[in-house]
Amino acid sequence: MALSAGFTASLPTNYEYYTSTGINSGLNANQSFFTLNDKLIKIYSGAMHYFRVPRPYWRDRLRKIRAAGLNTVETYVPWNLHEPENGKFDFGEGGSEFEDFLHLEEFLNAAKEEDLFVILRTGPYICSEYNSGGFPSWLLREKPMGFRTSEENYMKFVTRFFNVVLTLLAAFQFQLGGPVIAFQVENEYGNLENGAAFQPDKVYMEELRQLFLKNGIVELLTSADSPLWKGTSGTLPGELFQTANFGDNAVNQLNKLEEFQPGRPLMVMEYWIGWFDNVGGEHSVKSDEDSRRVLEDIFSKNASFNAYMFHGGTNFWFNNGANLDNDLMDNSGYTAITTSYDYDAPISESGGYRNKYFIVKELVAADNPVQTLTPEAPEYIEPLAYESSRIEQFLPLRTLLEENSPISIRSEQLLPMEMLDINDGSGQNNGYIVYQKDNVDLEENSVLTIEGNVCDTVLVLVDGDLVAPTKLSSLADLDGFGYWRLKDSSVQINEEPKFQSTITLLVENMGRVHGAGIYQYNHTFKGLWQGNVTINQRNIYDWEVVPLELKKQWINELKGWSEFSTESSGPGMYKATLSILEEPRDTYIDTRGWGKGMVFVNGFALGRYAAIGPQFALYLPAPFLVNGDNSIIFFEHFSAPADGLIAYTDEQIFINPT
């Protein structure tokens, strides 16, 4: 193996140590310890998801993982990104909005060149706090759809995807000279166990296993669940090597795993070394002391581990997931994940080193029975706080709709995003959806009612003017009109009579549920779809439905901008220019002073923000910027900061909500 920059020859590399005499076998778990190519190995792994890290930074993050003494990197493979439309695949340069993140083969080659083995968790369900748990939204159009079961229609699409992705990945197996030493089948499948309501489908798991085998996968096949909480309900004992997921109570978890697989090695697939953040929740931090204690407990059991996450990264674009505590059509228990997936991980969102990094490095060095060459830890280049940009232009929602020719669909009834006949029959995946009704006569004090729950937020405009809600400044606002918590919500939309008015409902998809079973997934449509919209108790029909997918080219070609002033307010685009006269540096966009919405950088959807926190700074990596003028656009629901500025900072900002 050719050494990548950052290595000096003395000890052998991982690949030299394990393959110098040829490759005879892969990762073996048929005794009380792992062997790789018939040599003892303990797996020291760190999770890093290629789709959460800008492609130009992959090598930097991989080398930092290797420099910590880890010998493996783990990643999921998200189906929804690699097949964004029904039958259209993207593994880099496939034409999707997110294509630059999807060069999976390049990532695997880079991992090997940085001297790391790879664990692939290919789904089809990945959870990962990711949009829809990795499932494509177009699956919702297909009926029946037995998500995560052996139901025939679901398995038809799983089989098609696996036949594509596993054919690609087979060439990267360790026994064929590649870096991949293990594949995970499904993910935390035992979590679906719900007494008489649902028992995990073992036929489904066997069908998945057979798909791996039929596509030439010869490496170790694994499953992952909490042994204490879920037992063996989510695996195939004797066919899949079971691993453990947990954040604490390591000894008891591993003792239970040992009962299930006596005489076999112990592996923690997910040691939750940090945690994620919810919109409107408290920022999660796991102490260094807890991290050290749990790792020491793992090592006391002579177990291998994967630190989830070792580098969390970012839910760029519209890719955050969400939780749903309620069943079926009740959206009141909905909670979205933040754009930041920093996870309080050893390597921060922008690539910095936390104390946890050095704790892991210390403990691994003391525990590892095999000594191989590790590179020097790459220098961390601190983000830069650029000078604030003045907002120069404003494009209100009404003008945006009138002058930029978005797709428009006439529908007698309200339709969710996913059921719109666009994108070659795949529906709308991300963004916002507009429901508009012209020529409406409003008597005085008219009341608009939305039946069911909003999925997920709604703004009501009358003749282009925002009437409700008018702010988001505290958690209490979520209990009012315009948000997902209220069912059958109503609001007064005028005082004086109005004639031939235009009613506009702008609905935001804040992210799809990432962890759910067959019943919940089949009810995770976005938009207005759970009932009618009424005005003064009369149903409104014949809607103009406009999908606002907010794609990069469309954003960059927007027309109708006017000069911004302190009088500019309401939903719309607020635009500034960030001029950079040298090589761009990482930075953060400070969202304090803004209400709710999305930020676009040079047309790319950077991420979401909300005044209820806890995240108040969006990570903006240097590769998204150019030397020269950069377009910074806020798609804001309410109004811009009073000073008319877009501010930048050199650090993360987390403030717990009130």
* Helix residue spans in 44-84 (DSSP H): 58-67, 79-82
- Rounded to the nearest integer, the mean pLDDT of the chain is 96
pLDDT of residue 516: 76
Question: Of 199, 39, 68, 65, which Cα lies nearest the Cα of 119?
Answer: 65
- 270, 349, 549, 636: the catalytic one is 270
pLDDT band at 327 (very low <50, low <70, confident <90, very high): low
What is the predicted pLDDT for the residue at 326? 59
Task: State the burial class of residue 77 (Cβ atoms within 10 Å of its Cβ: 0-12, 13-18, 19+).
Answer: buried
**Which listed residue (85, 113, 186, 188) is catalytic?**
188
Percent residues over pLDDT 90 in the chain: 94
The CA-atom distances, in angstroms, between 592 and each of 473, 510, 525, 645, 646 are 11, 19, 31, 11, 9
Closest by Cα among 619, 633, 482 to 555: 633
- pLDDT (mean) for 196-203: 89
User: Read out DSSP for 387-399?
Assistant: PPEEP-EEEEHHH
Q: Residue 331's pLDDT band (boundaries 50, 70, 90)?
A: low
Residues 247-303 have pLDDT tens digits of: 999 999 999 999 999 999 999 999 999 999 999 999 999 999 999 999 999 999 999
Burial 281-316 (b: 16+ CB within 10 A, else e): bebbebeeeebbebbebbbebebbbbbbbbbbbbbb
Q: Given pLDDT bands bounded at 50, 70 and 90, which one contains residue 329? A: low
- The three-point CA angle 85-87-93 to 5° equals 70
Condensed to tens digits (0 to 9), the pLDDT of residues 398-428 reads 999 999 987 999 999 999 999 999 999 999 9
Contact 54, 625 (CB under 8 A): no
Q: pLDDT at residue 197 above 90?
A: no
CA neighbours within 13 Å on the CB side: how many for 218?
Answer: 12
- CB 329 within 8 Å of CB 526: no
pLDDT tens, position by position, 88-111: 999 999 999 999 999 999 999 999
pLDDT of the residue at 1: 46
* Res. 116: pLDDT tops 90: yes
Percent of the chain with pLDDT over 70: 98
C-alpha span between 114 and 50 (Å, rounded): 15
Within 10 angstroms of residue 259's Cβ, the number of other Cβ atoms is: 11
Neighbour order of strands in the sheet with 533-535: 487-492, 447-453, 533-535, 538-539
Mean pLDDT for 353-373 is 98
What is the reported pLDDT for 520? 81
Cα 498 to Cα 494: distance, rounded to the nearest angstrom: 8
Residue 32: how many CA atoms within 13 Å on its side-chain side?
6
Encode pLDDT of 141-165 as tens digits: 999 999 999 999 999 999 999 999 9
Strands 180-184, 117-121: pairing is parallel
Cα distance between residue 288 and residue 296, in whole Å: 12
Catalytic: 270? Answer: yes
CA distances to 249, 440, 444, 446 from 497, rounded to whole Å, are: 64, 11, 4, 8
Please state the rounded mean pLDDT for residues 590-618: 98
* Mean pLDDT (whole number) for 529-555: 97
Q: Are strands 27-28 and 72-76 parallel, antiparallel or unpaired?
A: unpaired
User: Per-residue pLDDT for 362 more than 60?
Assistant: yes
Q: What is the mean pLDDT of residues 548-569?
A: 96
The band of 552, judged by pLDDT with boundaries at 50, 70 and 90, is: very high
User: Is 382 in the active site?
Assistant: no
CA dihedral for 35, 216, 126, 623, sign (positive or negative)? positive
Average pLDDT over every residue of 194-222: 94
> What's the full length of the chain, in residues?
658
pLDDT at 46 > cutoff 80:
yes
